[in-house]
Amino acid sequence: MNDFFNRVVAEMQAVDLGAIFSASSVLTTLIFVIALWAARRMAIKYIWRDAEVLSKDQRSWIIRIKNASTMILILGLILIWAPQLHTVALSLAAISVAVVVATKEMILCFMGAIVRVTTTPFRSGDWITIDGTTGEVVDIDAFSFRLQEVDVKGKSYQFTGRTISIPNSKLFSSNVENANFFKSYVFEDIRIAVTHADIDPAAAMKKLREIAQRYFAPYHNEALAFNRKIRRRSGVGIGAAEPSFDIATSDAGNYFFQVRMFVPTVAAASVRADITHDFLDYIHTCRRDPNGKKAAKQDEKPAEKKK
């Protein structure tokens, strides 16, 4: 094994690196990369124009441009550097096998860092979800990144106190969901179950609308502005900021009243609790004092006055 590595080192020393990495090749590469990058950027900007939400055709053309530019970049670099690298190909192949086997995980982490830098799926301070874990990116280095876990499943949207370190190699095998836009505002789904007995669903839904609109009012203008900002930056038609309502039933015939609101993330838990409390309080009041009894009492008062 020692003789093998000594022979490889001797071959590498015999190679004239100055002839390989000549000034002309480096200059040609720089000009080629800059020109290709500029052409790609101009083409995408031309297709995007002033559109707030991209159409399917626009998205298809942008994807074609990105894929074509990547292929042209690879082919161009091969054409530029193939003659120079031909002289060291055999020597590099021998030592590369040993290096790759010994440092496989480190190479994957480092390549993951390159993918992260070139594609920018997230930055420090973003909220991301990877392998079912959601957190804020607090640190990034060449081999890993750290998340401060956020309680999204429990819908408290608070830090749990746990710090999770994830190797960059995970970027090749796991999907990364960037929820940075929703670090400030979030679509909060509120679902309230009510037994069907002696409940008028139309009246209850009307009351729920009044309650939800009352709690949404303080955030109305900011929510609309932030919603438009997300649409412009992402080019995707996300849900409207205004509250939306729905009602469903279970197999047992119970009602499920549902509200979806675009509210500040820090206030989402309290808004959900307040709406639930006020709506259930209304249901409780209706059951203790039904409309029929109220009407009967109102009819009795005029009769007593006539006597």
CATH number of residue 274's parent domain = 3.30.70
Q: Is 249 found in the same domain as 231?
A: yes
Mean pLDDT of 34-48: 90
241 phi, psi to nearest 5 deg: -75, -30
Please report whether residue 21 resides in a domain.
yes
Task: Read off the pLDDT of residues 142-175 as tens digits, 9 standing for 90 and up.
Answer: 788 889 888 877 777 788 888 899 998 888 888 8
Here the CATH number for the domain that contains residue 137 is 2.30.30
Element (H, E) at 155: none
Instruction: State whether 70 and 169 are in the same domain.
Output: no
> Rounded to an integer, what distance in angstroms lies between the CA atom of residue 18 and that of residue 247?
74
The answer to whether residues 229 and 173 belong to one domain is no
Structure confidence at residue 209 (pLDDT): 93
Same-domain pairing of 198 and 175: no
As a whole number, mean pLDDT of residues 186-207 equals 86
Most confidently modeled range among 80-84, 174-178, 254-258: 254-258
Question: How many angstroms separate the Cα of 251 from the Cα of each of 193, 202, 248, 276?
Answer: 13, 20, 10, 22
91 and 193 part of one domain: no
pLDDT given for residue 49 in this prediction: 81
**Residue 276 counted as domain residue:** yes
Strand ranges for 28-140 from DSSP E: 127-130, 133-140
Q: Angle 56-85/23-48 helices, nearest 10 degrees?
A: 180
Residue 68, pLDDT > 60, answer: yes
According to DSSP, the residues that pair with 245 across neighbouring strands are 259
Report the C-alpha gap between 75 and 27 in whole angstroms. 17
Spatial distance between the Cα atoms of 69 and 49, rounded to a whole number of angstroms: 20
Say if 109 falls within a structural domain. Answer: no
Which of 164, 182, 200 is the C-terminal boundary of a domain?
Answer: 182
92 within some domain: yes
pLDDT for the residue 208: 93
Q: What is the pLDDT of residue 300?
A: 42
Judge whether residue 140 has pLDDT over 90: no
Are 188 and 288 found together in one domain? yes
CA distance 179 to 287: 42
Residues 6+ apart with CB under 8 A from 174: 130, 131
Angle subtended at Cα 104 by Cα 163 and Cα 121, rounded to the nearest 5 degrees: 45
7-18 mean pLDDT? 51
pLDDT of residue 206: 92
Mean pLDDT to the nearest integer, 212-220 = 92
8 Å CB contact between 196 and 254: yes
Contacts for 12-17: CB closer than 8 Å, 24+ residues apart: 12/88, 12/91, 12/95, 15/87, 15/88, 15/91
Q: Single out the residue in 85, 102, 119 at which a domain terminates.
A: 102
In a domain, 117, yes or no: no
Domain endpoint, select from 182, 210, 245: 182
Question: Do 87 and 7 lie in a common domain?
Answer: yes
Domain contains 121? no
- How far apart CA 171 and CA 121 sit, in angstroms, is 9
Verify that 205 and 236 share a domain, yes or no.
Answer: yes
Residues 6+ apart with CB under 8 A from 25: 80, 81, 84
Same domain, 257 and 169: no
Q: What is the mean pLDDT of residues 291-299?
A: 42
Q: Answer yes or no: is 244 within a domain.
A: yes
| 276 and 203 in a common domain | yes
Task: Clarify whether residues 191 and 177 are in a common domain.
Answer: no
Continuous segment of H or E residues that includes residue 174: none
The whole domain housing 157 covers 127-182
150 lies in a domain? yes
Same domain for 240 and 225, yes or no, is yes
Expressed in angstroms, the distance from the first to the final Cα of the chain is: 118
pLDDT at 293: 42
- Cβ-count burial 194-211 (b if 16+ within 10 Å, e if not): beeeeeeeeebbebbeeb
Compute how many other C-beta atoms are within 10 angstroms of the C-beta atom of residue 263.
Answer: 23
| Number of domains comprising the chain | 3
Question: For residues 54 and 284, which has the higher predicted lDDT (pLDDT)?
Answer: 284
